[in-house]
Amino acid sequence: MELIYLLFILVLSVFLGFALISRVPPLLHTPLMSEANAICGIIIIGALVSAGVDANSTLTIILGTSAVALATFNVVGGYLVTERMLKMFKKKG
Amino acid sequence: MNNEFLMNLIYIISSCLFAFGLKFLGSPVTARRGNILSASGMFLAIIATLAGSHVISFQWILIGILIGASLGALVAFKAAMTQMPEMIALLHGCGALASVFIGWIAYCVHGATDLTNTITLYLSIVIGGLTFTGSAIAWGKLSEHIPGKPILFTGQKWLNTGIISAILVLGVMFIMQPARYDLFLIILGLSCLFGIFMVIPIGGADMPVVISVLNSYSGVVACTTGFVIHNTLLIVVGSLVGANGMILSIIMCKAMNRSITNVLFGAFGSVVKKSATGEKKEAKAISVEDAFLILENAKSVVIIPGYGLAVAQAQHAVRELGEFLEKNGCDVKYAIHPVAGRMPGHMNVLLAEANISYDQLMEMDAINPLMENADAAIVIGANDVVNPASRHDKSSPIYGMPIINADKAKTVFVLKRSMATGFAGIENELFYYDNCRMIFGDAKQTVQALVAEFKSGQSR
């Protein structure tokens, strides 16, 4: 039964995504993509849960720590670079 | 009220903050606020997860966060704006690899618990694997560690078909015998291999599409990972990002008048035959001094930049030229083709970096009706996107591609190094039009020479 709820969320989110993103002007498509990159780093919460589960196996420690590092890189890099780009968009006067 | 309920409640708030973040990106005025909202959503989600789930060992998490955050900050501050596409490719790759690792851990610790879990785990490692290596190759091509030209060899299509079939067949076997760790590893390996072969035949000019498609994939991976570990926030965000990549891919393909399949499997540019130009006409060259005399009297000028402008690092010189024209009572606009640059919207960022006001940056559809009123158009480092052949020459490989109607302006100046062809490898008939004048030489030096003319004109 849980699967059907997850699918529900999936379908509605896709519609939400289309509605929101089709309103972003081409002017901001590069920052949009880096922003999407940054929020895609949300897998960090998956990484956090995974890295904390089984501290006995070397493989899971390595994979978990790497996953956390990679996802954090995604989040921090994504938001900072978006901020840097958006700061440059200025209007005269 | 238990911990998990509270955690999910915070996840809902985070989702809303992400949605508002994207909504505020709808205008450059609110965009920065959107980015901050989105980042706070991320922060909340991380805190909630650390507090709400059964995290046992914090030391490794802390080490991971420290490494990732410092590298992320370093790269984000160091990357030049021309390097943005490769930075984005790098981020895609990292996200995808992290998803693969999460799926791997879930499989090692819990095993594949039921059918849904096995299928989503399978999808997660396949798409994650190919997104990771695909992004790595895209990064290599964009940063010129790997030649940007399409890499083709005989039997490539058969090899790809073979790998895909193997991934599918092994997938069915894995779903029937989820305990087979060896199958899991082979599928992961083959997916990574496929990602490499997927991107190497694609040429540099098609990179905007590749990046958008990889963006979409990275969202899909986050989504499937969400199904594997039963996390709703991953599904919501994954869908948003997936939709984002899909929309951008469609926009890029439309701008090049090609289908996604054609871009991904067509290897454009490698098969272009020289279109037979009947009569050999002469392109008319003009000196900087004469060009200045025309520009000095122009009431409206449209500047059409292409990626060549960024290669020549001429953005700042162009802004200076624009300022002089404006002081001269001239209306200056910049016409941006959707595929000008190496990723969607790239040219806008490059011009914004040079302090050009964003209300002067016009989209193709907005500027085209105004081109007839323009006294002069200056084409800098662009070629195929202003080729009128796309409107009428059915034999041209770019026939049907939407272009900026530079030829409609009273005078067109084309700044170019030589008469060499553009990415599509085709002649540009615009150069032979009666109203077109070529200014040969390095784009930056030519623009600087024009600026110098304006300066001396002022002091006179």
Mean pLDDT by 10 residues, chain B (460 residues): 83 94 92 94 92 77 93 93 91 94 89 86 94 94 84 82 93 90 93 92 82 93 92 93 92 84 62 48 82 87 89 89 89 90 89 91 90 90 85 80 88 82 71 86 88 79
Contacts of B155 (CB under 8 A, 6+ apart): none
Provide φ and ψ at B155, rounded to 5°: 80, 5
Q: Which two tokens stand for residue A14?
A: 């896709």
Which has the higher per-residue pLDDT, A93 or B86?
A: B86
pLDDT at B174: 92
Partners of residue A48 in chain B, C-beta under 8 Å: 46, 49-50, 53, 55, 61
Q: Tell me how close the Cα of B127 comes to any Cα of chain A, in angstroms.
A: 15
pLDDT at A54: 63
The answer to whether the Cβ–Cβ distance between A53 and B109 falls below 8 Å is yes
Concerning whether B384 is annotated as a catalytic residue, the answer is yes
pLDDT at B172: 93
pLDDT at B246: 92
- DSSP, residue by residue, B242-275: HHHHHHHHHHHHHHHT--HHHHHHH-TTSSPPPP
pLDDT per position as a tens digit, A52-90:
666 678 888 889 899 999 999 999 999 999 999 999 998
Coil vs helix vs strand at B338: coil
pLDDT at A80: 95
Q: Tell me how close the Cα of B448 comes to any Cα of chain A, in angstroms.
A: 23
pLDDT at B257: 81
Q: Tell me how close the Cα of A56 comes to any Cα of chain B, in angstroms.
A: 10
Whether B305 and B382 have beta carbons less than 8 Å apart is answered as yes
Options B331, B359, B384, B407, the catalytic residue: B384
Whether B307 and B171 have beta carbons less than 8 Å apart is answered as no
Q: Where are the alpha helices (DSSP H) in B330-442?
A: 346-353, 364-367, 389-392
Place of tokens 């030209």: B149
Nearest one of A75, A15, A79, A69 to B45, comparing CA atoms: A75
Q: Which domains does chain B have, with CATH numbers?
A: 82-266 (no CATH), 288-459 (3.40.50.1220)
The answer to whether the Cβ–Cβ distance between B101 and A2 falls below 8 Å is no
The answer to whether the Cβ–Cβ distance between B239 and A17 falls below 8 Å is yes
Partners of residue A14 in chain B, C-beta under 8 Å: 239, 242-243
Whole-angstrom Cα distance, residue A14 to residue B157? 32
Whether B183 and B173 have beta carbons less than 8 Å apart is answered as yes
Give the domain ranges of chain A. Answer: 2-88
Nearest one of B228, B244, B237 to B178, comparing CA atoms: B228
The answer to whether the Cβ–Cβ distance between B219 and A36 falls below 8 Å is yes
Partners of residue A31 in chain B, C-beta under 8 Å: 25, 31, 35, 345, 349
